[in-house]
Amino acid sequence: MSHPEHSAMPSRDANTSVRGRVVSAHGRHYMVELEDGSLRQCYPRGKRSDAAVGDYVVVNLQGEEGSIERILERRNLLYRSDELRSKQFAANVDRLLIVVAPEPMFSDDLAGRALVGAWTAGIEPIIVLNKADLPGVEVARQRLEPLRRLGVPLVETNATDSEATRRALLPLLKGHCSLLLGQSAMGKSTLLNALVPGAGAATQEHSQALGAGRHTTTTTRLYRVPEGGDLIDSPGFQAFGLYHLEPEDIVRGFPEFHKPTEDCRFYNCTHRHEPGCGVLAALKRGEISPDRHALYTRLLAENEARNTY
């Protein structure tokens, strides 16, 4: 669903303040695009730093810098977490583009976790099968088939063919804020450069403005797509923890469970071992993928282990 009201920069908030959007985050400071299109380095007011890329904010300008006075209401917030802490990294996202590839072969576990993260945040996921010209693509398609059967759109690209990539993906980006997410070595940076020509140069310019040198791959960054829409690029990842989710949130991340849960005998069924469980019955009938149910049980176990500390 499109959100055209979010495509234009919000208006001025007060005589001494302006509104803007966070386009990159760097620890305790942020780059904020103001309503006039200019960029300012901004710091959070107070000690806490809880803005995320994609947030609309009210900024109090102080010379060449600014302070973030408040964060405007979010539609959603996407997290990644580990055993120690949760890290928010993108807000107000419409679509999550999960980039996978046949070489190196993507991880089913990580792709599944990204889908759960998207669905629990109310974000529409799309799988982008990149490097579709490589010999292993048929194996990759077979591994993605259970997700396609769930209704997740699957788009094939070859990032080295910029024009074909643009034809395949630009229509999906227009009018939306999309997040590009994938493991390392899936070709995500090549996709970004095809969709946002000059993205590498813009990143370097921001990095120099922040005194951050060439270390740009660890930063989440929002780009304007020339043909319309916003695209957030995030660092490649090798782990995607969901420790911040509660058990009921995890169930929401498995839409194929929703109807079978209506048949569960117990209202607090965990869908792992209880008698009269609708989900286990659907699993036995072949209506739920064993791999998906195994991911669900892993996520529950991880979160239970964390909560015992």
What does the pLDDT look like over 8-38, one tens digit per residue?
Answer: 444 444 447 899 999 998 878 899 999 999 9
Taking CA atoms, 74 is separated from 93, 122, 177, 184, 194, in Å, by: 9, 12, 13, 29, 29
Tokens representing residue 196 in the block: 């946002």
Q: How confident is the prediction along the chain (309 residues), in pLDDT tens digits per residue?
A: 334 334 444 444 444 789 999 999 887 889 999 999 999 999 988 766 689 999 999 999 988 899 999 999 999 999 877 666 677 889 999 999 999 999 999 999 999 999 999 999 999 999 999 999 999 999 999 999 999 999 999 999 997 899 999 999 999 999 999 999 999 889 998 999 999 987 864 444 444 554 443 434 458 899 999 999 999 998 877 778 888 889 999 999 999 999 999 999 999 999 999 999 999 999 999 999 999 999 999 999 988 887 665
* Ramachandran angles phi, psi of 56, nearest 5°: -90, 135
The SS3 call for residue 181 is strand
Widest pairwise Cα distance in the chain: 66
Give the CA angle between residues 141, 145, 151 to the nearest 5°. 125
Fold classification of 77-233 is Rossmann fold (3.40.50)
Q: Is 108 exposed, middle or buried (0-12, 13-18, 19+ CB in 10 A)?
A: middle
Residues in CB range of 182: below 8 A, 6 or more apart: 98, 99, 100, 106, 128, 188, 236, 237
pTM for this model (two decimals): 0.86
> Length of the chain in residues, anyone?
309
Backbone phi and psi for residue 40, each to the nearest 5 degrees, phi listed first: -135, 140
CATH fold of 4-71? OB fold (Dihydrolipoamide Acetyltransferase, E2P) (2.40.50)
Q: Where in the chain is the domain with CATH 2.40.50.140?
A: 4-71
Options 1.10.40.50, 3.40.50.300, 3.30.43.10, 3.90.79.10; which CATH number does 247-307 get? 1.10.40.50
Contacts 24+ apart (CB under 8 A), 132-138: 132/102, 132/156, 132/157, 132/158, 133/158, 133/160, 134/101, 134/102, 134/103, 135/102, 136/102, 136/103, 136/105, 137/102
Domain ranges in the chain with CATH number 3.40.50.300: 77-233
CATH 1.10.40.50 in the chain: give the residue spans: 247-307
